[in-house]
Amino acid sequence: MAKDTMTLTNNATGESYEYDILHATRGPSVVDIRTFFADSGLFTYDPGFTATAACESTITFIDGKKGELRYRGIAIEDLAKHHSYMEVCFLLLNKRLPSKDELVDFDLEIRHRAFLHRGLQKLFDAFPDDAHPMATLSAAVTALASFYDEHVDIDDEAAYLEMAHRIISKIPTIAAFAYRQSLGIPFIEPDINLGFTENFITMMRAYPGGKMHLNATGHDHVKDVEVRALDTIFTLHADHEQNASTAVVRGVASTGAHPYVAISSGIAALWGRAHGGANESVIAQLEFIGSVDKVEAFIEKAKDPDDDFRLMGFGHRVYKNFDPRAKILKKLQDELRDELGLDTELMKIARKIEEIALSDDYFISRNLYPNIDFYTGIILTALKIPTSMFTPIFVIGRTVGWITQWIEFKKDETSKIARPRQLYLGE
Ligand code: CMC
């Protein structure tokens, strides 16, 4: 019977080294090369980690060829359709969906932890009026570490879950405060009568006193369809295995820094437009294109090898067939169009881009499909959420994933400080 090992031969010296193959429960297995440098004196070279597994994990599984995404083994389509974001948070942290009673307790705990220490609220005053909410968010999460400076014992489940619940709960408040600070308008405190997603929309939109906009016929209210759409967006962002920002969170965890500092570093990494910042860039790009008749010219620009213009919201390192999150959101976008009677110029431009790109050989041959950010940008615009809040909304959804990955890293006895090597070509 064939051995589950791989032999690597250095053709210059003729020396061979044998390595174990470790089998995954789903997806590619790995070659365990941990002793490779000690054996051969050589490093492996893999910029961007395109073929390198850096950890074992049981949280999220992606099959990029099949367009499959699962949290704790459950398909994203099932979670988006049948479960709330609160249930998804419980699932990621506890490895199973909650019972009815557990969900009530979890939801209540998250509601009660949403308030910010008065001292932390003073930090927001330090930022200029037009500060991007991502800058304020990242700084405030680092500051949060100083308010909860206790050592988290990773063998004490109650202690690390409390730490996780607190950050999940406070992130929407910090994001909403960061936004209101950028407008120079008073903060709206969280309301324990409201669920996670409705509370966040209210903290962003309400007038002082927590009341919504007043018409001749009474107060506006947050629509169910808005809560449903945003809750689904949070679920779709909740985790995405070892992406750039999660790798940063694990990297910071590996140095022993405070978990909230690791989350703050993840926020900074997510901000870039190749990652979570893309949703904001999608809208900036659609607005820049301006009208449906200009779409073809921009598609030509995106295809030109001498032009570094890229279609924002297209392409993915892992998904090479379609992004399953984008499929769910496209359906949601169509529902919103019907329910809210929306068909804006932006939506028409987006539809035209999608139509051309999906039938153009440049995009087909490179497996470039609309990704999650293409549709979140359009849906959040339809929900009248300000563009500067798109990436903070990604942060709100992803915080549970980051903190779950932090816990997994800490519990893994094989974890080591992240310390890559290099191919030195200098003097
Ligand atoms: N528009 C036009 N051409 C593209 C695009 C695009 N959006 N994305 C990739 N390409 C081309 C690229 O020029 C290259 O062509 P060639 O082989 O001729 O040199 C080929 O496709 C492969 O691109 P790559 O940069 O090697 O692919 P990557 O896996 O390193 O990058 C990516 C993935 C997401 C950074 C990239 O597709 C991109 O910049 N997309 C736009 C930004 C975006 O939408 N980001 C959000 C990603 S999803 C949310 C998240 O998980 O963060």
pLDDT digits over 20-35, tens only? 999 999 999 999 999 9
User: What's the DSSP call for residue 151?
Assistant: P
| Residue 211: per-residue pLDDT | 87
Handedness of CA 231, 69, 157, 397 (dihedral sign): negative
Instruction: Assess whether the C-beta atom of 315 lies below 6 angstroms from ligand 1.
Output: yes
Minimum mean pLDDT among 114-118, 291-295, 369-373: which range?
369-373
Which residues, in sequence order, are CB contacts of 62 under 8 Å at separation 6+?
A: 27, 68, 69, 70, 240, 241, 318, 319
Instruction: Assess whether the C-beta atom of 316 lies below 6 angstroms from ligand 1.
Output: yes
The pair of three-digit structure tokens given for residue 412, joined into one six-digit string: 């893994």
Q: Vertex 276, ends 361 and 419: CA angle to 5°?
A: 105
How many whole angstroms from 285 Cα to the centroid of ligand 1? 15
Instruction: Assess whether the C-beta atom of 366 lies below 6 angstroms from ligand 1.
Output: yes
Instruction: Assess whether the C-beta atom of 371 lies below 6 angstroms from ligand 1.
Output: yes
The pair of three-digit structure tokens given for residue 45, joined into one six-digit string: 């070279």
Task: Pick the residue whose CA is nearest to atom 27 on ligand 1.
Answer: 317
Task: Pick the residue whose CA is nearest to atom 41 on ligand 1.
Answer: 312
Is residue 337 very low, low, confident or very high in pLDDT (cuts 50, 70, 90)? Answer: confident
The pair of three-digit structure tokens given for residue 233, joined into one six-digit string: 């967006």
Active-site pick, 165, 237, 316, 323:
316
pLDDT digits over 340-359, tens only? 777 778 888 998 999 998 89
Task: Pick the residue whose CA is nearest to atom 21 on ligand 1.
Answer: 366
pLDDT digits over 183-229, tens only? 889 999 999 999 999 999 999 999 988 888 888 998 888 889 899 99
How many whole angstroms from 314 Cα to the centroid of ligand 1? 7
Q: Is residue 3 pLDDT above 80, yes or no?
A: no
The pair of three-digit structure tokens given for residue 235, joined into one six-digit string: 């679920």
Instruction: Assess whether the C-beta atom of 232 lies below 6 angstroms from ligand 1.
Output: no
Task: Pick the residue whose CA is nearest to atom 4 on ligand 1.
Answer: 310
How many whole angstroms from 132 Cα to the centroid of ligand 1? 25
| Residue 219: per-residue pLDDT | 87
Q: Is residue 1 pLDDT above 60, yes or no?
A: no
How many angstroms separate the CA atoms of 248 and 253, rounded? Answer: 8
pLDDT digits over 248-291, tens only? 999 999 999 999 999 999 999 999 988 998 888 889 999 999 99
Is residue 297 very low, low, confident or very high in pLDDT (cuts 50, 70, 90)? Answer: very high
> Residues 364, 368, 371, 374: what is their CA dihedral angle, to the nearest 10 degrees?
-90
Task: Pick the residue whose CA is nearest to atom 52 on ligand 1.
Answer: 275
Answer for the pair 336, 379: CB distance below 8 angstroms, yes or no. Answer: yes
Q: What is the CA radius of gyration of the chain?
A: 23
Q: Is residue 416 pLDDT above 90, yes or no?
A: yes
Instruction: Assess whether the C-beta atom of 401 lies below 6 angstroms from ligand 1.
Output: no
| Residue 378: per-residue pLDDT | 85
Is 373 among the residues known to form the active site? yes
Is residue 135 very low, low, confident or very high in pLDDT (cuts 50, 70, 90)? Answer: very high
pTM of the model: 0.92
Which residues, in sequence order, are CB contacts of 58 under 8 Å at separation 6+?
A: 72, 95, 408
Q: Is residue 338 pLDDT above 70, yes or no?
A: yes
> Which mutation among 246, 303, 316 tests ligand 1's pocket best, with the greatest number of atoms within 8 A of CB?
316
Q: Vertex 41, ends 44 and 416: CA angle to 5°?
A: 60
Answer for the pair 59, 23: CB distance below 8 angstroms, yes or no. Answer: no
* Ligand 1 atom at minimal distance to the Cα of residue 314: 7
The pair of three-digit structure tokens given for residue 102, joined into one six-digit string: 């557990």
Q: What percent of the chain has pLDDT over 90?
A: 76
Which amino acid, 140?
A: A
Instruction: Assess whether the C-beta atom of 275 lies below 6 angstroms from ligand 1.
Output: yes
Could you give the count of Cα atoms lying within 13 Å of 80 in the half-sphere of its Cβ? 23
Q: Domains of the chain, with CATH numbers? A: 1-44 (2.20.28.60), 45-427 (1.10.580.10)
Q: Is residue 84 pLDDT above 80, yes or no?
A: yes
Is 231 among the residues known to form the active site? no
Mean pLDDT for the stretch of residues 297-321: 91
How many angstroms separate the CA atoms of 291 and 358, rounded? Answer: 19
How many whole angstroms from 319 Cα to the centroid of ligand 1? 11
Mean pLDDT for the stretch of residues 124-132: 90
If one compares 109 and 370, the residue with the highest pLDDT of the two is: 109
**Helix or strand run (H / E) with residue 104:** helix 100-112
Answer for the pair 333, 375: CB distance below 8 angstroms, yes or no. Answer: yes
How high does pLDDT run on average in the chain? 93
Q: Is residue 407 pLDDT above 90, yes or no?
A: yes
